[in-house]
Structure 1
Amino acid sequence: MKKSIAFVLPNLNTGGAQRVVSTLANLLVEKYHVRIITLYECKPFYNLDSKISVNFCLSEFNSNPTFVQSIVNNFKLIIKLIKILKNNNVNLAIGFMSTTNIYTIIATKFIRIPNIISERANPEYSSLNNIWTFLRKINYPFSNCLVVQTKANKNYFKTYNKNKIEIINNPIDNNLLFNRNLDIPKENIILNVGRLEEPKNQDLLIHAFNKIKNINWKLILVGDGKNYEAYNKLIASLNMQDKIILVGNYSDVAFYYNKAKIFAFTSKYEGFPNVIIEAMSYGLACISTDCPHGPSEIIKNNENGILIPVGDQIALEKNLTILTQNPKLLKTLSNNAIISAADYNPNKIALEWSTLINKII
């Protein structure tokens, strides 16, 4: 008889954690009764198998609550989460992201079922306030297992999580692998995929591209965010509208992965950069900042990609110039990237999760 598991996360909008949960849920649904519980009602951005059940705790998110409203809201979320888990005879709850992890631990302990929690962000750059940081510190020891994505994250959480900590990498999205076509002729495109927000630091890439000899190359940025208009103005001020293109959010990112030759990633910090492993699986030669955490655990410098110091525009210009002018090196990095990306095959990662789940249920 199949056991019942439930993933718990804030929402099913676009995002790294949401994509990972959707991918894992789709792969695990043959082995378990899979349920996804979100804190707030939303329409799933990623495709889900019809056998996956979706519940939400509350219908609306109050983005600016008073202190009293916040306390009441937290109680409501936990009570509703307990009710959903209990009424659906869930055997194991799996929390994703810090605040949701805390709700999951409290709810599962109340109804006496095991839990797994999973940290997705870089804790050293956490946006948690002091109260949530304190709650995380006192609650995490009550988890059955904490899953992180990098060795650096594991070392961080060793300081106040005495329970078992497992490193499980993110899987590449199955739909992306399905839409990969290595026979499509590559074009002279440098690609960046991600939110257009300050930590992603795409203005560094725009300035660097403007400085290199890129007569036959284009820079395409896929994603939306707070800096979209600012980057539009920056590109116009550089008179590079024909060379640098802001695509915005685009559901078929495989279209650009299939066409591009180079992937450039300029983040100041990360939890685990899914887009790098996606780009590598498509055979893009990747150049990334060696930011905390993730890139250095994915990329072996000058073997399957290139690492540069965070914020170093000169190094970015230099290496982009080398890659655009050296087809042989580009091909070597491309081939090695495809081989390395096999470590993040979704079936392999799903098996690691299934092994862990079976140990705890």
Structure 2
Amino acid sequence: MRALARKGKSAARRLYRGYNRRKARNAPPPSIQRVRILLLHAYGMGGTIRTVFNLASYLAEEHDVEIVSILKEAEEPFFPVDPRVRFRFLDDRVRPSRDPLRAMLSKMPSRLIPQEETAYHRFNLWTDLQLARYIRSLDTGVLMATRPGLNLAMAQLAPPGVITIGQEHVALRTQAEPMQNLIKWRYRRLDALVTLTKADLRDYRETLPKKPRKLARIPNAVPPMSGGQAKLDAKVAIAVGRLTRIKGFHRLITAWETVAAAHPDWKLRIFGAGPQEANLRQQIAEAGLEDKVELPGPTSDVGAELEKASVYVMSSRHEGFPMTILEAMAKGLAIVSFNSPHGPKEMITHEVDGLLVKPRTNANLAAGILRVIEDEPLRRSLAEHAVETAATYDVDAVGRQWDALLAELLARRDGSYVRPQPAGASPGTAPDADADAPATEQAGAQVIPLNP
């Protein structure tokens, strides 16, 4: 039976490859005019959604952009939407159809998305079917995915005429081992893999036995925000994020007990929603901090809330590339953050544009907050340099990196790509390993040279 099953799988693979070859022969020329971005739930709230909206808005200047959301779980988007960007939803859970097939498949677990994907419980056989149909319906253009499960599905299913870009918002080292094993073997099929941090770029370079045609680091950009910069005279510290264990807000509240004892006139506001809300409220009550720590819920206008504060605190166990730090920097807040290696450590220069403290140490977090509260010249100096740092993540500056990447991927597909020669090299000289980088590095991205 096992031998028969192996023969069946082998035959299915041959049929699939033959179908792909026929589809490649009939496909239109490669193009970057149409850009499709796969997202789990576009109308939800979270850093990835904001950054995707931000990127889509920039690309819509020159491209036909559509955000393809696996789920629809709200009538309206939580974040503002650029009217030039179109939306498609594969599974409408607000107004589900009465299709009996949908009803049956929605009760069955996903076979396309790995169980180790953190959002695995959001997928099912119905979403598998809709996602596979959508991906296989494409014949050209660019398809971008924004989380490991979707990257893996795209790598497995995308027709050969489609330029595929995997975007990683979480660090490779935080993935479960079975997920890392799938990543090692499937990501090689992608045209490009884009990480947010240099540390993650190094990890992928060292881990992937066979790499995509392009491996690049392009950070997130600061999104547009309402209002002006913070005046730094409000006795308010702020934190923003999903109320989950990984965000470490329980540690922040514990640290705030020390802060409140020394400075009872200061308040902490934690904006967000999530499964830990009840636990956090209980912790606040038990610590007697009801009038010192507030949980106002989520906000769609982060800029307005940052403007009312003087200090931003990041207490996460680990982060990919936290947008809220960039937003707080752009608003001119003093930043105090745990020294997470894949995000804050790259974004913050200690004692220049923020303070970094030892991860998971409540006492050190409290000490960092107390320091910026009690040393106003330091607070204002950190804030001033933070604004300068945020300027390097301007939407146009980061957008140009995406322009360069898309242009290079198209050139690699249509045969016009010419590997750049290193400075001073004579014609005909074989380029060294760094010769592949300039197109994107000139725009500020760090690129690992790979074989075309």
The Cα shift of 1:16 comes to: 1.5
**Residue 248 (structure 1) aligns with:** 297
The Cα shift of 1:137 comes to: 2.5
Q: Distance in 1 between matches of 2:177 and 2:32?
A: 39
Supply the AA of the counterpart residue of 1:284: L
Q: 1:193-226 CA deviation, whole Å, 9 max, x = no partner?
A: 1111111111111111111211221111111111
**Residue 201 (structure 2) aligns with:** 154
User: Are residues 183 and 79 of structure 1, via their aligned partners in 2, closer, same or farther at CA, if it must alter by over 3 Å?
Assistant: closer
Q: Is the 8 A contact 1:287 1:305 kept in 2?
A: yes
**Residue 119 (structure 2) aligns with:** none
**Residue 108 (structure 2) aligns with:** 65
Which of the residues 203, 224, 234 maps onto 2:250?
203
Structure with greater Cα Rg: 2
The Cα shift of 1:76 comes to: 4.0
- The more displaced of 304-313 and 72-81 is 72-81
Q: Is the 8 A contact 1:268 1:292 kept in 2?
A: no
**Residue 216 (structure 2) aligns with:** 166
**SS at 1:235's partner residue?**
helix
Q: Does 1:14 align with 2:45?
A: yes
Q: Does 1:272 align with 2:321?
A: yes
User: Are residues 173 and 320 of structure 1, via their aligned partners in 2, closer, same or farther at CA, if it must alter by over 3 Å?
Assistant: same
Q: Is the 8 A contact 1:58 1:77 kept in 2?
A: no
Q: Is the 8 A contact 1:180 1:282 kept in 2?
A: no
Supply the AA of the counterpart residue of 1:148: T
User: Are residues 67 and 140 of structure 1, via their aligned partners in 2, closer, same or farther at CA, if it must alter by over 3 Å?
Assistant: closer
Stretches of structure 1 lacking an aligned partner (at least 5 in a row): none
Structure-to-structure mapping, 1:296-311, within 5 angstroms: 296-311=345-360
**Residue 137 (structure 1) aligns with:** 184
Structure-to-structure mapping, 1:171-250, within 5 angstroms: 171-174=221-224, 176=225, 179-182=226-229, 186-212=233-259, 213-250=262-299
The Cα shift of 1:322 comes to: 1.5
**Residue 105 (structure 1) aligns with:** 155
Q: Distance in 2 between matches of 1:73 and 1:129?
A: 25
Q: Does 1:82 align with 2:136?
A: yes
The Cα shift of 1:248 comes to: 1.0
Q: Distance in 1 between matches of 2:82 and 2:297?
A: 27
Q: Distance in 2 between matches of 1:23 and 1:186?
A: 30
Q: Does 1:313 align with 2:346?
A: no
Q: Is the 8 A contact 1:16 1:274 kept in 2?
A: yes
User: Are residues 183 and 291 of structure 1, via their aligned partners in 2, closer, same or farther at CA, if it must alter by over 3 Å?
Assistant: closer
Q: Distance in 1 between matches of 2:308 and 2:393?
A: 21
User: Are residues 189 and 73 of structure 1, via their aligned partners in 2, closer, same or farther at CA, if it must alter by over 3 Å?
Assistant: closer
Corresponding residue pairs, total: 351
Which of the residues 165, 170, 177 maps onto 1:116?
165
**Residue 120 (structure 2) aligns with:** none
Q: Is the 8 A contact 1:209 1:317 kept in 2?
A: yes
Q: Tell me the TM-score normalized by structure 1.
A: 0.90
Q: Is the 8 A contact 1:36 1:52 kept in 2?
A: yes
Q: Is the 8 A contact 2:313 2:337 kept in 1?
A: yes
**SS at 2:332's partner residue?**
coil
**SS at 2:291's partner residue?**
coil
Which of the residues 68, 71, 87 maps onto 1:40?
71
**Residue 295 (structure 1) aligns with:** 344
Q: Is the 8 A contact 1:117 1:146 kept in 2?
A: yes
Q: 1:7-33 CA deviation, whole Å, 9 max, x = no partner?
A: 112221211211111011111111111
The Cα shift of 1:308 comes to: 0.5
Q: Is the 8 A contact 1:304 1:333 kept in 2?
A: yes
Supply the AA of the counterpart residue of 1:167: R
**SS at 2:38's partner residue?**
strand
Q: Is the 8 A contact 2:32 2:141 kept in 1?
A: no
- The more displaced of 219-228 and 312-321 is 312-321
Q: Tell me the TM-score normalized by structure 2.
A: 0.73
CA RMSD in angstroms comes to 2.3
The Cα shift of 1:355 comes to: 1.3
Stretches of structure 2 lacking an aligned partner (at least 5 in a row): 1-30, 97-104, 113-123, 411-452
Q: Is the 8 A contact 1:304 1:340 kept in 2?
A: yes
Q: Is the 8 A contact 1:283 1:338 kept in 2?
A: yes
The Cα shift of 1:269 comes to: 0.7
User: Are residues 51 and 2 of structure 1, via their aligned partners in 2, closer, same or farther at CA, if it must alter by over 3 Å?
Assistant: farther
**SS at 2:144's partner residue?**
strand
